[in-house]
Amino acid sequence: MNKQNKNKKAISPYFLVLLSFIGVILLGALLLTLPFSHKDGQWGQFMDSLFIATSATCVTGLSTYANGIGAELTFIGQLIVMIMIQIGGLGFITIFTFFISLFQRKLQFKDRLFLSQAVNSNTIAGVSKFVKRVISIVLVSEILGFLLGLPVFFNVKEYTPAEAIWASAFTSVSAFNNAGFDIFGAYSLVRIAENPIVYNLPTWAYYYMCSYIMILIILGGISFITIIDIVILRKRPRQWSGFVKIVLMTTGVLLVAGFVSFCLTDVLNGNMNTFEATFQSVTLRTAGFANYDQNSLSVAGKTISCLFMFIGGSPISTAGGIKTTTIFIIVLCLVRFLQRKSIVAFKREYTRTSILKAMTLVFLSVINIVIAFTIVRTLENGKPLATSENVIFEVFSAFGTVGLSAGITPSLEIGSKIVIIILMFFGRLGPITLFQLFQADMSGEENIHFKRVQSDVIIG
């Protein structure tokens, strides 16, 4: 009996999430390799297809195609990329749960427990309702983005009506899911910003397009829980949970801090204007769209960009990075430690588990970035564009699943591409997810009935 129970031991939900992402990536890579995905009708390079598939599923936006996916991939290839973006943004398990609940299959308790862990929901009974709400938010946001984009893309003289509709749909999905992929060309919105006449666009259309893209980026990265509390449940500010308050406050601070920082580093010296500084601050929430050439950023501007890409968006969203809540806990611990007070904010005291997770996440993330930078910098040594600052920028962008690049992605060596692929995968799933494969409980509490003597250790 014991042996039978042992064989039926539940598979970790984190392991299933890992397998689902790997499966989507490999299937996408295979499809993108086939001739029907490429405009020249030839077989694609598998490594490039694997890179694009990983970048799309991990909602990053980095591309090894020098002229962008719009110039390389057919409509079918672009559709495959968009589907992977959608799956990666929502999470495979979220979509799976939605279809189960759609056909009203009754979920057992163990299934609900697994799914609640997979979608990061704190409630077991409300998993199906939570996922339905997430799907509703996604559909409404993307349809709204699609409709907002139509006036712009119908003005682009290069596009037929059908191409304009497709460009608007693809842009909306990519922006909301913080993917950063576009079909405009090699330089995202930079080309449109520098040559609006080429696209037959009036000045207002360019600013209008950037503005609605920024709105979609923020909505996608601000956490589904936040949108549910404010929009669907219509809770008043005093009813908001501590999580929602942390997300809103931290996101607001990061957006303002980013704008001010770029004004000081790049606007004052004439490198960019204030609108570009605003867009740069928003896109660093892990979106990856760019209306300014990243290679033209000052060294200080690239350094600041790396910091904000590292932080990323909020948990339970389409964004990557270590997340806003993590940086909030780290900063709160630092401030309260200096004040010699307990870790309290918004009338709540945060647990040791939260603190340990935040510190572990930051530590593991930094280690991975350092290792990746060392390998890529070594492999790309001697290339004019692959300077240390550009490589570290690329590495931070990959880990944060941002997709911004100083232009070195298409020329990366195979070894460097593999490193970036692993980093994008690791950055999307999060070190904590992989860590949970080996240790389900990070609280440090053991199933024992006594307490050990506590002691301090000399630090510094």
Three-state SS across the chain? CHHHHHHCCCCCHHHHHHHHHHHHHHHHHHHHHCHHHECCCCCCCHHHHHHHHHHHHCCCCCCCCCCCHHHHECHHHHHHHHHHHHHHHHCHHHHHHHHHHHCCCCCCHHHHHHHHHHCCCCCCCCHHHHHHHHHHHHHHHHHHHHHHHHHHHCCCCCCCHHHHHHHHHHHHHHHHCCCCCCCCCCCCCHHHHHCCCCCCCCHHHHHHHHHHHHHHHHHHHCCHHHHHHHHHCCCCHHHCCHHHHHHHHHHHHHHHHHHHHHHHHHHCCCCCCHHHHHHHHHHCCCCCCCCCCHHHCCHHHHHHHHHHHHHCCCCCCCCCCCCHHHHHHHHHHHHHHHCCCCCEECCEECCHHHHHHHHHHHHHHHHHHHHHHHHHHHHCCCCCCCCHHHHHHHHHHHHCCCCCCCCCHHHCCHHHHHHHHHHHHHHHHCHHHHHHCCCCCCCCCCCCCCCCCCCCCCCC
| pLDDT computed for residue 176 by the predictor | 96
Note whether residue 198 is domain-resident: yes
Note whether residue 454 is domain-resident: no
460 or 247, which is more confident? 247
Note whether residue 444 is domain-resident: no
Q: How many domains does the chain have?
A: 1
Tell me the per-residue pLDDT of 312-323, one tens digit each, with 9 for 90 and over: 999 888 888 999
| pLDDT computed for residue 442 by the predictor | 44
| pLDDT computed for residue 273 by the predictor | 92
Q: How far apart are CA 297 and CA 179, in angstroms?
A: 21
Bridge pairing between strands 348-349 and 344-345 = antiparallel
Note whether residue 455 is domain-resident: no
Tell me the per-residue pLDDT of 111-132, one tens digit each, with 9 for 90 and over: 666 666 555 555 555 677 888 8
| Arithmetic mean of pLDDT over the chain | 85
Note whether residue 250 is domain-resident: yes
- Whether 359 has a pLDDT exceeding 60, the answer reads yes
| pLDDT computed for residue 158 by the predictor | 79
Mean pLDDT, to the nearest integer, of 176-184?
90
Mean pLDDT, to the nearest integer, of 233-245?
89
Note whether residue 5 is domain-resident: no
Which percentage of the chain shows pLDDT scores above 70? 80
For the CA atoms of 376, 378, 382, 385, the dihedral, rounded to the nearest 10 degrees, stands at 20
Mean pLDDT, to the nearest integer, of 148-175?
91
Note whether residue 446 is domain-resident: no
346 or 126, which is more confident? 346
pTM, two decimals, is: 0.89
**Residue 17 — very low, low, confident or very high, per pLDDT cuts 50/70/90?**
confident
Domain range enclosing 59: 13-436
28 or 455, which is more confident? 28
Note whether residue 2 is domain-resident: no
